[in-house]
Every structure is written in C-alpha cells, then in structure tokens.
A and B are shown apart, each in its own frame.
Chain A
C-alpha cells in the first residue's frame, strides 16, 4: 500500500482571512462526496 509522506508534526493553523478564493480544478465538481450525512 503506498504511503502518504509524513505530515508536519504539529498542526498548522490555516488563517482563512489569508486564503484567496479557491480555484476549483476542472472536472472536480463531478466526483462523489458525502454530504449532509449521506454518501450515496
């Protein structure tokens, strides 16, 4: 099983105010998600 490289040992806080509007990658909107407790 491939492993994800080790993460930072300490959680890095994300400052929302510093985040620009996220760019949604093309085709991303069609992938399945779990939403409102439903994952079907």
Chain B
C-alpha cells in the first residue's frame, strides 16, 4: 500500500519552503511514512522574467504590486516570521529574483539520480536563506554537486537546454489540473491540497488517503 505525493513548487517561493517543512513534519508523525513517495515538480511563478535578469526581490515585488518598499518590507517580514516558526531562516531583504528555468532543469537532473527532494531543498535554501543567485551557472553546479549529482552532468545541463521539455511538461500538467499557485500537493492523483497547510492538515490528509487505499 503506497501513497504518492506530487508537489508543484518554485525554488524562489517562500510558501513552498514553509509548505515543504510542514509536509515533513506531518510525515515525521505519520504512522505509514515508509509507504510514502514524494516527487517534486517544476512550476515557475514568473516565467516572463528574462533569462539573466536579476533584481532584488523586494524591488521586484514593489513594482509588481505597486506598493511602497516599506509595505513590501513589512509583508516579507511577516512571511519571514512564519518561516522562523518552521525552523527556517529567510533573508528576503537580500534575495535576488531570477528566472528559475535553469534551476528546475538541474532539479530534473537530480531527480534522475533520486535526489529531487534534496536538490529542491538546496535550491530553496540557497535563494531564500542564503540569498544565492539561483540562475548563476557556478552556483547551480555547486548546489547540484553538494547533493550528490555528478559535476560533469550538472555542468552539461546548466550549459545546455537538457530537461527543458520536462520542465514544460510539469508546468503544463499543473495548468491542466488547475494549479495557479504553489505549493500544490496532489495525493494519489486524487486529492489536491493547495498552499502551505499546517502540518496537522497534511497529516489528516495522509491518514484519510491511507485509510482509503
């Protein structure tokens, strides 16, 4: 009896990292966690950011929502505090907004090595906690090798276009099943859970799905 969890997430998404931690907390308490597999899928919050364009996240947000920088700082402070409650240390004041396509291509390579979860974790931490630039080729190769991906393979992917189709397919699937925001969790291809739910909600869903399977 197994439970399959498919997660759509972007590596620059503050709620995705919080959602990941809350899911992990739920799995830590779930009696049948050994029967659960988690697969991470690509989603781009803003695929229109030109490749190579870099901008401080707070400036990007201020432009996007038409709010003064002070308001954006207050809002990011709020999500930073919620992250802290999950044991995460965000540095959104220094985070840099980029196009995440290359990061997702590398994540797919890592997935081929059974390291998709580890790579997603590394990319989220790099962007949200370490203010690393996650479209920088050297940074992507370093992160990939740190989780166990062979450096030569990571280099080939970063320098080329491999796994573009897989990224597109993930995003296409997300659109087709109605995902407009992330994180989004799909359990056994039956139940959809949107957003960074409390761990208790994930746990309840896991128990419900297990009881049905």
Contact = CB atoms under 8 A, between A and B. Distances in A.
Contacts of B65: 38, 40
24 contacts: A4-B117, A5-B27, A7-B40, A8-B39, A11-B111, A11-B112, A22-B190, A23-B191, A25-B201, A25-B205, A27-B197, A27-B201, A31-B19, A32-B79, A32-B196, A33-B196, A34-B10, A34-B13, A35-B180, A37-B60, A38-B65, A39-B13, A40-B65, A40-B78
A8 B5 CA distance: 11
| Count class of interface residues, chain A | 35 or more
* Pairs of residues from A and B, 10 with the lowest C-beta to C-beta distance, nearest first: A31-B195, A33-B181, A35-B181, A37-B46, A22-B192, A2-B28, A9-B114, A40-B75, A34-B13, A33-B195
Given A23-B190, A35-B180, 10 more contacts: A7-B114, A7-B117, A29-B194, A29-B195, A31-B197, A31-B198, A33-B196, A34-B13, A38-B65, A40-B76
Interface of A: 1-14, 16, 18-20, 22-25, 27-40
Contacts of B172: 16
Nearest to B169: A13
A9 B180 CA distance: 27
Given A33-B183, A40-B65, A6 B79 contact: no
Given A11-B39, A14-B6, A27-B201, A34 B27 contact: no
B48 to A, nearest CB: 8
Contact of B189 (A3, A14, A25, A27): A14
Contact of A25 (B46, B111, B112, B193): B193
Contacts of A1: 24, 87
Contacts of A34: 10, 13-16, 45, 181-183
A25 to B, nearest CB: 5
Interface stretch (B30-38, B129-137, B142-150, B152-160): B30-38
